[in-house]
A and B are shown apart, each in its own frame.
Chain A
Amino acid sequence: MEEIKEKITVNNPHGLHVRPAAVFVQIANKFDSRVFLEKNGERVDGKSIITILSLGVHKGMEVTLIAEGNDAAQAFAELKQYLEKKDD
């Protein structure tokens, strides 16, 4: 079991609003690993759109991305890339 954890600045112009959050969950769902997002000490399930929305993440905010499981490395890489992408 692997766990990867890193702080990431969200660059998507719309932060993690409904559509980007949906894409995030869709990416996360491709993997077996558990995925979490943390903001200000609050941790939510990265495969749950409702809880991600409740974090209220805007562009430029810092979040901690955590992936944990067999395919954690790949899951982490793809999700990190999505969060850091400047356009969607």
Chain B
Amino acid sequence: MIKLKGIAVSLGIGIGKAYRIGQEEVTVPKRKIGHEEISREIYRLEEALIETRREITSLQKKIFQELGFDHSKIFEAHVLVLEDRVLIEDIIQQIKNKKVNVEFAFWTSIKKYMDTLLKLEDDYLRERVNDIDDVARRVLRKLLKKEIVSLKDLKEKVIVVAHDLSPSQTASLPKGNILAFVTDVGGRTSHTAIIARSLGIPAVVGVEIGTKNIKPGEKLIVDGSKGVVVVHPTERILKEYQKKSQQLVKARKAFHIPKVYKAQTKDKKEVDVSGNIELPEELPLVREYGAEGIGLYRTEFVFLGRRDLPSEEEQYQAYVNVARRVKPHSVIIRTMDIGGDKFLSQPQVPKEMSPFLGWRAIRFCLAQPEIFKVQLRAILRAAAEGEMKIMFPMISGIEELRQAKALLEECKEELRREKKNFKADISVGTMIEVPSAAMCADELAKESDFFSIGTNDLIQYSLAVDRGNEKVAYLYEPGHPGVIRLLKHVIETAHKNKIWIGMCGEMAGEPLFAYLLLGMGLDEFSMSPPRVPKVKDMIRNVFFQDAQRAAEKAVTLSTAKEVEKFLQEELKRMLRNEYERIVLT
């Protein structure tokens, strides 16, 4: 038995067999063939190409159904690679002239083209070599008769183990077959973590000594609450975890309480508890866990995993779908929060040394108004069909907010001229996630309809800690006095200026800190859906007055440890025998 330590990013316990995802080494045998074998080798090539084609079109259909037309388009290119006559001719010539087996001819030929692409001075095409590589491996497996078991064909559910998972890899995974995720890299806000949380699948990322020692098929326990992966557990440990896991499932079922379940303290202070989503598919999950509104609708997914830009119509369809389904409750839609390099493949966009401090989110959008305005127009139109509010990420000062609002006004004017239906009085919020914005909250509040604090970034920026870096991740402390004093300042400033304030970062979803935030007067708590029940349970079991008093005291403490310990003791007293269930599990 080995215990691996990592970062706990998605609650729950997964027990099952490891399924490794990654690039396996390819070994292609070389064999001289006789003249009489040539036609048979060519026949095998044709057969493998046809079979692979069948495989790809069925994958395309599946992605089309799950993610829509745009994500499935890339497979058309894959099919064209299989039909590529220059490539096929090249392979056949090798078989005929060099008298080598088809596997070897195929691999050397396609490798030659991949190498050419790798030499191009074009980041995007270099990346896309993966597409061709993927097709090539599929064909090779057919030729070698090595059927790689695909996840979707598995009879049993598995634990996905990988060095890292790309957005497109995660997109093509059959979610129903996954018990847990384990990866070498990443932190709480990495892509895998976000997806895992939104799907309610346990996950441990940033495994310290790596997952390389985990062999395919090996029995694993993934504890997504503690950040522990047990490889090859003993009977005793296994029994222990099985019991724990059953308790969790039972506890989760117990949360299925009807909608009337308000987030109201014992002394009748009511707050909003809403869900964070990325994909419309997560909406049922939000409701299942008892939240109604959406405090953060991330729009990055409309842009990722593709190379062209989504049209206004396409974006409108995506946003209006969410607005309509959540109506009459509100949806806060965040404009794109991605790096500029994701959009422009031209070599003039150099790799950034510190992407977190670089050209992204509102900075990119303001520099590329023609891209940004397409999204703004789509949002304005979608907002007419539901309760949609707009929020700008990464604002560092008032000028950026003004510029963004000016563009929004321009879009309104255009839509008005075009006689299109849109919401003219859409609420505009500022995301508070850059420390300078927090310090200038008074200025920003005067020109915003609401605030939403993004704690994941605010904490990283305030403490100068990259959470994805395992060496310094321990410094990421939400309870750090510097952080909580900043939060107190922002919340008070918002209220002084008569605007409401929410939080859409992880911190709002942790009952311990949610208690502190409640006491500070936060109006809205938005979190990944599975966290909703516990936060609501905490709120319903405490008095607002106690929370206020606790918040006053907490900001006078001098270390994160003291803050956490103090909050734990407070909540232990309030929640009594419910404490363990609500705060610790």
Binding site for B on A (CB under 8 A): 13-14, 17-19, 21-22, 25-26, 44-45, 47-51, 53-54, 56, 58-59, 88
Contacts and interface: CB of A to CB of B under 8 A. Distances in A.
Among A13, A49, A88: residue with most chain B CB under 10 A: A49
A88 B309 CA distance: 9
Contact of B132 (A26, A44, A48, A50): A50
Nearest to B122: A56
Contacts of A88: 308
Interface of B: 73-74, 76-77, 80-81, 84-87, 110, 113, 116-117, 120-122, 124-125, 128, 131-132, 307-309, 345-346
Contacts of A45: 85-86
28 contacts: A14-B124, A14-B308, A17-B125, A17-B128, A17-B307, A18-B74, A18-B128, A18-B131, A19-B74, A19-B76, A19-B307, A22-B76, A25-B80, A26-B76, A47-B85, A48-B87, A49-B84, A50-B84, A50-B87, A50-B110, A53-B128, A54-B116, A54-B117, A54-B120, A56-B122, A56-B125, A58-B122, A58-B346
Contact of A49 (B80, B120, B122, B124): B80
A58 B120 CA distance: 11
Contacts of B120: 54, 56
Contacts of A59: 346
Contacts of B345: 14, 17
Given A17-B345, A19-B308, A58-B122, A53 B80 contact: no
Given A18-B77, A19-B73, A50 B346 contact: no
A68 to B, nearest CB: 16
Contact of A50 (B76, B86, B124): B86
Nearest to B82: A49
Contacts of B73: 19
Among A13, A45, A53, A59: residue with most chain B CB under 10 A: A53
A48 B73 CA distance: 18
Contacts of A22: 76-77, 80
A76 B349 CA distance: 33
A7 B307 CA distance: 26
